Structure 1
C-alpha cells in the first residue's frame, strides 16, 4: 500500500487530458496549488494528497463540461505481477481485494454521504446559480478569451407549472419547495471541508426518514478498467468481483453498517454507490509525473508558422508495450461522486444537452473538449460540415455563446429527426435558443463564400459505422478541397478521423493547399487522429 491519503481523480476523454485540466484549474482555483499527475492517454487527471474538498468545490464540479466522472480516492497500490506469476490465479489477483479493504474509506464515504443526503445529484448547476451561487463567488470564464463579451453567463431556467409537475414526477425531491430547501442547506455549508472528519462528519449524522439503517438499501456496483493490461487469464468482470468482495467485507465488519449507513445490494444498472478501480502501467505513471505538459491545451498555444509532421510524432498508443513482458502496474481505487442524475434516470452523460442520437454521435464531453481546443473567439464563424445530430455546435455554443455556428449533413433524417430536435431540446432547457443554424447540404459543396469561415470543427466519417474506406477515398479529396476554399487564411481546420493513411495521401497531392500544424492521438472508443490544418499562404 503506497498511500492512504485522500486524492481526487478526474475521468476525462482520453487524449484531451490537458484541455480538461485547463478547464478544471480555471473553474476550481483551489486545485491550482495541488500537485497533479497525468499519465498519457488514460483519460485520468490525478490530484495528489488533497487536504481540502469543500462543498463549494463540489458545486463547481457540476459546472465542468469536459469531465465524465470525479472520484475520491480510497487507496493506491503498486504491484509487480511478474513476481506473482507462480501463484494460482485466485491468489495472484487477491491483492486487488486486500488493498481496497485496507484503504481509507472514511474520506470518500463522507463525501458520498453528503452528496446523497443532500440530493446534490438531482440539483443542476443552473439552479445553484439562480439561488445566488454565482454572486457569492467570482466564477472564472469558460474559455481563455480576455474579451468580456464571451463570458459564459449562468443560464436561467424558466420554470412554469408544467415544468414543476415534471420535476415532481421524475425526481425524488417531491416538490419544488423541497428542492429549494436542499439548495439553501447546501449553500449554508458551502465552506465546509468534507475531508475534515472532525469538523464535518456525515458518516455519523442521521438520515432523514430512516430511524433504522437496516431499512435503507444502497444499490452498489464495482467497476474495473483494465486499460492496457491485455492479459486474457482474467476477465474484467472477475476483477470487478474482487472490488465487490472487498466492499462487502468492509460492510460486514464491526461498524460496517454504520459506515455505509444502510444495506448493500448489487445493482449493475441503476446504482447509488460505485467503487471504481483501474490498472495503470508504472512506466506511463512515471511519464505523467515527469512531463506534465506533454499533451495538448489548445491551438492558441501553437507558435505562428509552426509545423508538425505526423510521421515524426511519437506513437503514444497505450498498447505499444507488450504486457507479456511488462508487469509493473499501479492500481487506483476510488468512489464515484454522484454529481448528476443520469444514472437514476437510467441515462448516461450522453444525454447532456440532447435528446436524440445517431449511430456515430460523439460524447458531449469529447465534443466540448474539441471545441475548447479550437479556441473559438466571439464573432467567429464556426462550421461543422458533417454535424450529424449537432453535438459539436451545441457543446461549442455552451463554451462561447457569442460566436456563430453552422452545421450541416447530407442525411435528411439525421438533421430533421435528431439535430433540429436537439436544438429545440436545448432551447427548452436554457430558455434561450443557441446561436446555431442547421442545414441539409452536401459537404462537397458547402454554401459559403471563399475565405469566409474562421473555424471548421468536425468529426469526419471513419468508415466503421458510417460509410467505408472505399467510400471515404471518394469523399475525402473533394471535402479537403472545399475546406481549403471556404477557410480564411487566418482560420483553422480542426478535424478528427481514423483514416490517417488517407489524410497523408491527400496532403501529398499538389492541389492540397493545407499545412499540418498539429497532430495528436485521442481515444473515443477507437484510437483516432486529431488534426489541425491551416491554409498555405
Structure 2
C-alpha cells in the first residue's frame, strides 16, 4: 500500500548548505569522490545464490542474501551504478537508506506507528537521494539514446514530465540539503527560524511527488502494511515537504518489513528489469530473470546446441542467445501461435539491435513440431531447457500424466548420453517425479531449485543424461498411448514460455 498524506505540515526541516547542482553527482564520479552505498535487489525466489554469483562475477563484490526470500544486498560505489542496471538476474533495484536486523516493534499498534513516524526524521537520507538523482541522469541518457521514447518506459508518466525534469534538479537540491541539514536542525531549538528558512527557499518551485510502498511479512506485527505506509509516508511528507501521489510519483520510498528485519530504501527502477526481451506475450510468458537463472544452472559452453522443445514466446532461447551467445539455440512448439510469437520476438530484438548499429543476428532457429516426435537426430543435443505445462493455464493435470513420460523419453533420445543435461520447470511435481522414476535408466535428477512462479510453488529440476544407449533400457519398452493423448485434444495445451 502507498502513503496518502492529506496535509503538509506547517513546520519543515532547516535548509542549509549550498544546493546540489544538476551535475554534482556526475562531478563526484569524474573527480573520483565516490559515494559507497548499499543496493538492494529483488530476484526470482530460489535464485538468490545465482544472482549473488553474477554480482561477484560482473561487479566484483560479495552479495548478502536476505532472510526475506527473493532479496539480496550488495555494496557499490556510485561510479559502478550503471553496471547494476546491466545485471540479468535482478528484477527491481533500490538504494538502501537504512536497515535494521532486529527492530524491536512496540506491542501496541499506536506506539509502533508513532515510532515509525518519528523514524522518518532520523534516517540518513543524503547519500540515498544523491544516488537516486544520479540514477535519474543515467535513465535520461538511456531515454535519449532511444529517441526520447519515455512514454513506453513509464506508462503512468504525466504529460508534464518535461517540466518535472526541468525542475527536478532544483527540487532534489532542496531535498538533499534538507537531509544534510538534518543533524543541525535537530540541534537548533529555534524552530520558527527553521520554518521561515524552508518557506523562503525557492518559492514557487514544483514539489516532488512521492509515495511509500510497504512490503510486510510476518505474523507478529500489530499493524498492517497500509497502516505502516500511511503513517511513515505522512512523516516523510512532513519532513521533506513533498507531495504524496500514489500513481504519478517521482520518488518511491520502500518500507520492507520481514519479521524483525526492517529496510528503508528508495526505488531505482520504474518497472522490473525482467521486461527486456519480450514484445509479444503469451498466457504463460516466463520472466527473463527466471530464464537467466535456469540458463546459469546448466552452464552453457561455447558451441553447445541448446533445445527448448516447448518454447512458447521464446523467452528462454532469447535470453540465452543474448547472454550466452556462443551457444546455438533451437526453439520449437506444436502451437502455430506460439511459434509466431517467438519469431516476432526474435525479429523485435534484431531490429532493436540494428537500430543501435550493433550486430543484429541471433543464434536461434524456430521450428513448429510434434513434441513427442522431434525432427532432430538422436544424441545431437547438449542441453534441453524448457518450461513444462503446469496443467493450470495450459493443458491439464490429467493430460500431464501421458505427456510427461512421452516428452521425457523423446528428450532422452535427442540428448547426448553421458554429457547431456536438462533443466525443466514445472509446478506439477507429483506427475514429474513419477515420470522421472519411469525414466530411471535415461535420466538422473541432480539438483532442484524451488521457485515462485506467479504465486505457484514450482521446481526447476536439473537432470543429467545417463550413459545408457537409447533403445536399450527397460524404459524404452514403455509404449505411449498415442499422439492424440500425449499431445492433447487442443494444440495450445503445451504453449509455454
TM-score, normalised to structure 1's length?
A: 0.65
Task: Report the counterpart of residue 342 of structure 2 in structure 1.
Answer: 419
Residue 278 (structure 2) pairs with residue 354 (structure 1): yes
Task: Report the counterpart of residue 154 of structure 1 in structure 2.
Answer: none
Equivalent residues of 2:333, 2:370 under 8 A apart: yes
Equivalent residues of 1:372, 1:399 under 8 A apart: no
Residue 122 (structure 2) pairs with residue 106 (structure 1): no
Output the CA distance in 2 between the equivalents of 1:170 and 1:8: 26
Residue 450 (structure 2) pairs with residue 521 (structure 1): yes
Using the TM superposition, give the Cα deviation of residue 486 of structure 1 relative to its aligned residue in structure 2, in angstroms.
Answer: 1.0
Structure whose CA Rg is larger: 2
Using the TM superposition, give the Cα deviation of residue 40 of structure 1 relative to its aligned residue in structure 2, in angstroms.
Answer: 5.5
TM-aligned CA distance change 1:408 to 1:95, over 3 Å: farther
Task: Report the counterpart of residue 27 of structure 1 in structure 2.
Answer: 58
Using the TM superposition, give the Cα deviation of residue 471 of structure 1 relative to its aligned residue in structure 2, in angstroms.
Answer: 2.0
Match 2:99 to one of 64, 76, 88: 76
Three-state SS of the structure 2 residue aligned to 1:111 is helix
Equivalent residues of 2:143, 2:150 under 8 A apart: no
Task: Report the counterpart of residue 78 of structure 2 in structure 1.
Answer: 54
TM-aligned CA distance change 1:356 to 1:380, over 3 Å: same
Residue 461 (structure 2) pairs with residue 531 (structure 1): yes
Equivalent residues of 1:100, 1:333 under 8 A apart: no
Task: Report the counterpart of residue 367 of structure 1 in structure 2.
Answer: 291
Equivalent residues of 1:15, 1:41 under 8 A apart: no
Output the CA distance in 1 between the equivalents of 2:135 and 2:236: 19
Using the TM superposition, give the Cα deviation of residue 398 of structure 1 relative to its aligned residue in structure 2, in angstroms.
Answer: 1.4
Match 1:479 to one of 400, 407, 410: 407
What pairs up with 1:248-267 in 2 under 5 angstroms?
Answer: 248-252=237-241, 263-267=242-246
Equivalent residues of 1:521, 1:530 under 8 A apart: yes
How many residues align? The count is 382
Task: Report the counterpart of residue 12 of structure 2 in structure 1.
Answer: none
Match 1:376 to one of 292, 300, 303: 300
Equivalent residues of 2:384, 2:421 under 8 A apart: yes
Output the CA distance in 1 between the equivalents of 2:150 and 2:263: 38
Output the CA distance in 2 between the equivalents of 1:398 and 1:234: 45
Equivalent residues of 2:302, 2:327 under 8 A apart: yes
Output the CA distance in 2 between the equivalents of 1:126 and 1:476: 48
Output the CA distance in 2 between the equivalents of 1:419 and 1:54: 38
Using the TM superposition, give the Cα deviation of residue 12 of structure 1 relative to its aligned residue in structure 2, in angstroms.
Answer: 1.6
Using the TM superposition, give the Cα deviation of residue 349 of structure 1 relative to its aligned residue in structure 2, in angstroms.
Answer: 3.5
TM-aligned CA distance change 1:464 to 1:245, over 3 Å: farther
Task: Report the counterpart of residue 16 of structure 1 in structure 2.
Answer: 47
5+ residue gaps, structure 2, are: 1-35, 155-179, 182-200, 355-359, 468-497
Task: Report the counterpart of residue 334 of structure 1 in structure 2.
Answer: 265
Output the CA distance in 2 between the equivalents of 1:245 and 1:444: 59
TM-aligned CA distance change 1:233 to 1:371, over 3 Å: same
Three-state SS of the structure 1 residue aligned to 2:438 is coil
Using the TM superposition, give the Cα deviation of residue 376 of structure 1 relative to its aligned residue in structure 2, in angstroms.
Answer: 0.8
Output the CA distance in 2 between the equivalents of 1:9 and 1:351: 19
Using the TM superposition, give the Cα deviation of residue 100 of structure 1 relative to its aligned residue in structure 2, in angstroms.
Answer: 4.0
5+ residue gaps, structure 1, are: 128-162, 173-196, 199-210, 253-262, 282-328
Equivalent residues of 1:224, 1:276 under 8 A apart: yes
TM-aligned CA distance change 1:99 to 1:386, over 3 Å: farther
CA offset digits 1:412-451 (Å, max 9, x no partner): 12221x2111111100111202111112222222221111
Match 1:123 to one of 123, 127, 141: 141
Residue 437 (structure 2) pairs with residue 437 (structure 1): no
TM-score, normalised to structure 2's length?
A: 0.70
Residue 257 (structure 2) pairs with residue 279 (structure 1): yes
Task: Report the counterpart of residue 43 of structure 1 in structure 2.
Answer: 70
CA offset digits 1:173-223 (Å, max 9, x no partner): xxxxxxxxxxxxxxxxxxxxxxxx99xxxxxxxxxxxx9474334332222
Using the TM superposition, give the Cα deviation of residue 330 of structure 1 relative to its aligned residue in structure 2, in angstroms.
Answer: 0.9
Equivalent residues of 1:243, 1:275 under 8 A apart: no
CA RMSD of aligned residues (A): 3.0
Equivalent residues of 1:108, 1:335 under 8 A apart: yes
Three-state SS of the structure 2 residue aligned to 1:401 is coil
Equivalent residues of 2:405, 2:439 under 8 A apart: no
Output the CA distance in 2 between the equivalents of 1:495 and 1:265: 45
CA offset digits 1:55-96 (Å, max 9, x no partner): 3x0121122111212221112235577x744x2x34344444
